[in-house]
């Protein structure tokens, strides 16, 4: 929304803004802007219904033993999720079915998204593909991809410093 000036009083006062300019609010508005969503609306006829797609949020972290992926998949059933690992690429895909709507239902807002999704991630070297574990619990998908033992970090014990070695050699 633009900051439009508003005249207050009998014309003798100065212009006042409807709200103060907030740089953080502006940044939040810009970060929420998705040009690809606008393009999708334009290509599909601009309907609100066509712009609603389900894109689950992911969290990916690395521990010393594994890579752990977590995805928020509320309302997605286990039978509707597929996880594939090919080489260094893991793909999580699935779908969330929309609820049945009656003609007589009256919605005041409809913000929940439904549909198919697919997310792909490229993995670094060292994942053990034979020991991957997937679990769906309380609407959260957790993928654990263990590292092969040879690529896990090894702690190196520090030895004697150079000055101490010289003292030992002289003795």
Q: Residue 75: which region, alpha, beta or left (left: phi > 0; alpha: psi -120 to 50)?
A: left
Half-sphere exposure of 151 (CA within 13 A, CB side): 13
Question: Is pLDDT at 41 greater than 50 in this prediction?
Answer: yes
pLDDT of residue 97: 87
Domains in the chain with CATH codes:
21-51 (no CATH), 55-98+109-149 (2.60.40.790)
Query: What's the CA gap between 48 and 45, in Å, rounded?
Result: 9
CA distances 144 to 62, 74, 87, 161, 163, Å, are 10, 19, 16, 40, 46
Q: What percent of the chain has pLDDT over 90?
A: 34
Q: Residue 98: which region, alpha, beta or left (left: phi > 0; alpha: psi -120 to 50)?
A: beta
Query: What's the CA gap between 88 and 129, in Å, rounded?
Result: 9
Q: What is the pTM of this model?
A: 0.58
Question: Is pLDDT at 17 greater than 80 in this prediction?
Answer: no
Q: Residue 143: which region, alpha, beta or left (left: phi > 0; alpha: psi -120 to 50)?
A: beta
pLDDT of residue 50: 45
Query: In the structure encoding, which two tokens stand for residue 151, read together?
Result: 């690529």
Question: Which of 119, 105, 101 lies closest to 53 in space, CA to CA?
Answer: 119
pLDDT tens for residues 46-79?
544 444 578 899 999 999 899 999 999 998 999 9
CA distances 67 to 117, 122, 150, Å, are 22, 12, 15
CB atoms under 10 Å from CB of 66, counted, come to 19
């Amino acid at each position: 929304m633009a900051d439009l000036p508003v005249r207050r009083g009998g014309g003798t006062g100065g212009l006042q803004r409807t709200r103060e300019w907030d740089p953080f609010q502006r940044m939040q508005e810009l970060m929420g802007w998705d040009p690809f969503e606008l393009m999708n609306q334009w290509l599909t006829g601009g309907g609100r219904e066509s712009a609603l797609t389900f894109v689950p949020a992911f969290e990916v972290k690395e521990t010393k033993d594994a890579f752990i992926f977590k995805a928020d998949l509320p309302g997605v059933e286990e039978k509707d999720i597929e996880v594939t690992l090919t080489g260094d690429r893991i793909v999580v895909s699935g779908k969330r079915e929309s609820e049945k709507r009656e003609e007589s239902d009256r919605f005041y807002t409809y913000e929940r998204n439904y549909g198919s999704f697919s997310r792909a991630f490229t993995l670094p070297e060292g994942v053990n593909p034979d020991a991957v574990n997937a679990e769906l619990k309380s609407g959260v998908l957790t993928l654990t991809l263990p590292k092969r033992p040879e690529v896990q970090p090894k702690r190196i014990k520090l030895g004697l410093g150079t000055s101490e070695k010289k003292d030992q050699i002289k003795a």
